[in-house]
Amino acid sequence: MMRSALHVHLKVQEAVSMNQEGVNLLEECHSSQALKFFQGALRALHEIESTCTDALASSSIKSSDEHQSCVWSGSEIPHIQDDRFFVHNQALLIQLPQSTAGISLQTVRVSLAAVCFNMGLAFHLKGKLHNRRQRSCHEKAALCYAQALQYMEQTNSSSSAAPDVTMMTLLALNNQCQIHYQLRSLAQLQSGLERIRKLSLSMLWHCGPQRRPCGGRMILGELMINVLVSTNPGVETAAAA
């Protein structure tokens, strides 16, 4: 079905607004209500992805200024942090290009990745707050982070997007690893930590004073501490404690 670029922009903006509402609720620890908004945002974005391919294909990104990017909300979500394993506990907000022609398939996929990451945070929080359903919620969080990673892998081919997407990938991997750490899924934990180690090294030069995509050196430092501590031979004992 052919849709205009303006229609696509308005539909994506609807998804952006629902994501924003979900983030606001999540920061107030209303994880169940937040999930409803995130699911609505996903439905809108999936509709665009499946029915608006002609309009998306005609969109072109001519400069990095036109490229949609994600920013962290700036407010920490309480109760998610772990004393033994850094968890990135800020949700993602989506920024759209000024021009309707700036909406591309990549814009939609990065937006999908952001919403999936936020859903992961919502289930992460639910698991922390509800002991009886902790394992189930954390398994759902891991699946959401995995889905976010899939969308980010589809967007990594664009050089203009690479820094933002790589940092988002690192943080989704990191939060997923915290769940593997807690659930004692040690093989998955070690695999994820190795990916973090390699990606962190490639990101260091992107985080200088003039360029701080979705984070910076302090976050990379926290991730590397996770890698160093959790690859210690005593990790199994620590995870069981």
C-alpha to C-alpha distance for 52 and 2, rounded to whole angstroms: 6
pLDDT at 240: 44
Question: Splitting the chain (241 residues) into consecutive groups of 10 residues, what average pLDDT does each group show?
Answer: 67 92 96 97 90 57 48 84 89 78 78 95 94 91 97 68 76 95 91 91 64 62 86 49 45
Length of the chain counted residue by residue: 241
- pLDDT, residue 175, reads 96
Q: Give me the torsion for CA of 178, 224, 152, 88, rounded to 10°.
A: 50
pLDDT of the residue at 181: 92
Q: Structure tokens of 210?
A: 């003039």
174 in the Ramachandran plot: left (φ > 0), alpha (ψ -120 to 50) or beta?
Answer: alpha
Cβ contacts of 96-99, under 8 Å, gap ≥ 24: 96/9, 96/12, 96/13, 96/16, 96/68, 97/61, 97/66, 97/67, 97/68, 98/66, 99/66
Residue 4 per-residue DSSP state: -
Domain coverage including residue 74: 5-240
Say how many domains are in the chain. Answer: 1
Q: What pLDDT sits at residue 36? A: 98
Which pLDDT does position 122 carry in this prediction? 98
